[in-house]
Amino acid sequence: MFGRKKKLKKEFDERLHSLMLETKEEWERARENERYLNDYDQEVMVRRKIAESKHFYLFKEAKIRQLGRD
């Protein structure tokens, strides 16, 4: 029973880690897009903030789950 629990935790921790990497890349792309705009574009700013929020939510979850501390 405990072996299955560890296997599931490892599987979900790996998925969380990959999601964190994906959202970090998305956030960085959004920041670059915003940086290269000549004028103020609210939609681009909102997309960046959404990407940033997603990344930090996953980061907070990883901290709670003590990701990487096995």
At 30 the pLDDT is 93
pLDDT band at 1 (very low <50, low <70, confident <90, very high): low
Position 8 in a domain: no
Position 1 in a domain: no
∠ CA 2-63-67, nearest 5°, is 40
What confidence tens digit (pLDDT) does each residue in 9-65 have?
Answer: 889 999 999 999 999 999 999 999 888 887 778 888 999 999 999 999 999 999 998
Position 49 in a domain: yes
At 70 the pLDDT is 52
∠ CA 6-10-13, nearest 5°, is 135
Position 26 in a domain: yes
Position 3 in a domain: no
Which range marks the domain in which residue 43 is found? Answer: 15-64
At 56 the pLDDT is 95
Quote the pTM value.
0.77
∠ CA 20-26-32, nearest 5°, is 135
Domain count, the chain: 1
